[in-house]
């Protein structure tokens, strides 16, 4: 796991600006999220945090994820019926998930930009591209 120290510092700075205490478990959760090149469920975040700090309980990790979400530092999304996944905010991709193999893919923001523009002009609807994945059948499962 490579740690992007700058990114961690930015997140921790935002916490400080909101007068939040920087606890060791919080530091560990932020490190895990910054180091993840992937979308992690809360359980996966917990497992990785516990590699750094075995004493951190799952409920602590859940509380920290909630706090980070309240400050818009972390976002979660749902893919099909699987557990919600978390990652740092600031990525503008959308998700599609395959109903057969249950794999979730990131889709480039261009596709969702176009969809978002059309929804806005046709229905005045503001798309939240990240929260819920579109479902369908992936290329692999179609063949
Ligand atoms: Zn949700
Ligand atoms: Zn995502
Ligand atoms: Zn598939």
The domain that holds 136 is classified in CATH as 3.30.1490.190
Ligand at shortest distance from the CA of 94 = 2
| Ligand nearest to C-alpha 40 | 2
Instruction: Specify the pairing of strand 104-107 against strand 94-98.
Output: antiparallel
Does 56 lie in the same domain as 81?
A: yes
Q: Give the span between the Cα atoms of 34 and 37, in whole angstroms.
A: 8
CB 58 within 8 A of CB 42: yes
pLDDT of residue 1: 47
Which numbered ligand comes closest to the C-alpha of 129? 2
pLDDT class of 104 with cuts at 50, 70, 90: confident
Alpha carbon of 86 to ligand 1 centroid (Å) = 10
Domain of residue 104: give its range: 94-142
Does residue 67 share a domain with residue 9? Answer: yes
Q: What is the mean pLDDT of the chain?
A: 90
User: Above 60 in pLDDT, residue 96?
Assistant: yes
Look up residue 20 and give its two tokens. Answer: 């939040």
Decide which of 69, 88, 107 is a domain's last residue: 88
The reply to whether 29 and 65 lie within a common domain is yes
Sequential DSSP letters for the chain: ----HHHHHHHHHHHHHTT----HHHHHHHHHHHH-SS-EEHHHHHHHHHHH-TT--HHHHHHHHHHHHHTTSEEEEB-TTSPPEEEES----EEEEETTT--EEEE-HHHHHHHHHHHHHHH-----TTTB-EEE--HHHH-
Domain count within the chain: 2
| CA 131 / ligand 2 centre spacing (Å) | 8
For the segment 114-142, the average pLDDT, to the nearest whole number, is 92
Do both 79 and 32 map to the same domain? yes
**78 close to 84: Cβ distance less than 8 angstroms:** yes
For the chain, give the percent of residues with pLDDT over 70. 97
| Burial class for 123, CB neighbours closer than 10 Å (0-12, 13-18, 19+) | exposed
Same domain, yes or no, for 48 and 114?
no
Calculate mean pLDDT across residues 75-101: 85
* Residues 101 and 123 grouped into a single domain: yes
Ligand with the closest atom to the CA of 39: 2
């Amino acid at each position: 796991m490579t740690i992007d120290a700058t990114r961690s510092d930015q997140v921790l700075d935002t916490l400080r600006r909101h007068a939040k205490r920087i606890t060791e478990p919080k530091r560990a959760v932020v490190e895990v999220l910054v180091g993840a090149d992937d979308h992690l469920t809360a359980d996966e975040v917990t497992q990785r945090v516990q590699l750094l700090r075995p004493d951190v309980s799952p409920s602590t990790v859940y509380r920290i994820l909630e706090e980070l979400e309240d400050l818009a530092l972390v976002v979660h999304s749902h893919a099909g019926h699987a557990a919600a996944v978390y990652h740092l905010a600031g990525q503008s991709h959308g998700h599609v998930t395959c109903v057969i193999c249950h794999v979730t893919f990131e889709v480039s923001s261009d596709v969702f930009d176009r969809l978002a523009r059309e929804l806005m002009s046709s229905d005045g609807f503001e798309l939240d591209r990240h929260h819920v994945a579109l479902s369908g059948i992936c290329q692999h499962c179609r063949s």
